[in-house]
Amino acid sequence: MVDITGRKDLREADLKGADFRGVDFQGANLEKANLIEANLSGANLKSANLKGADLFEANFERTHLEEAHLTWADLRWANFKAAYLERAHLEGARLEGANLERSDLKEANLEGASLIEANLKGADLEKANLKGANLEGADLEGANLKEAFLGEVYGLSLDRLSKVKTLYDAKLDEKLLITLRENYPALFEKAD
């Protein structure tokens, strides 16, 4: 195990299975670090660099990841329940099977991210960029998609979109937008 005392540069460190509950990693450089199955619940990772990190099955419950850089990170089966991911950079991230239930993803950039089978129940995706993301099998029940960009998204279905909290002012592909407006007009009403 790597000694992290006072260190903010942990690039490519092997921290597999580490217990970092509540640790302050604000602004830390964890690029390409191995954090497989690490417990980071309640930790502060605001503005941290986790580009290309391996976070498979890591626990981020109630973790602060505002403006964190998770581009191209492996976040498969990670737990982000009630995590704070406002303005986080998740471009090209692998979030297959991830639990993002009730997470705050306001203005997050998820362009090209893979969210296959992800749990987004009750997630706040207001003004999030999901351009080109793959949402095949993702659970969107109760998700806030107000002003979210959903252009060129893969795997969206009318059935799953009909269960979101709101699509008010969301940007959708025209064909999907027309069908949803005809069948579920309440989704486009101004949200609370």
pLDDT one-digit tens code per residue, 57-89? 999 999 999 999 999 999 999 999 999 999 999
Q: Is 111 exposed, middle or buried (0-12, 13-18, 19+ CB in 10 A)?
A: buried
CA–CA separation, 40 vs 190, rounded Å? 36
* Ranges of each domain in the chain: 1-191
**Model's pTM, two decimal places?**
0.93
How do residues 136-159 score in pLDDT, each as one tens digit? 999 999 999 999 999 999 998 899
CA–CA separation, 28 vs 5, rounded Å? 12
How do residues 83-121 score in pLDDT, each as one tens digit? 999 999 999 999 999 999 999 999 999 999 999 999 999
Q: Which residue has the tokens 């749990």?
A: 119
Cα dihedral value 95, 99, 105, 108, nearest 10: 0
Does domain 1-191 fall under CATH 1.10.540.10? My reply is no
User: 137-167 burial by CB neighbour count: b if 16+ within 10 A, else e?
Assistant: ebbbeebbbbbbbbbebeebeeebbeebbbb
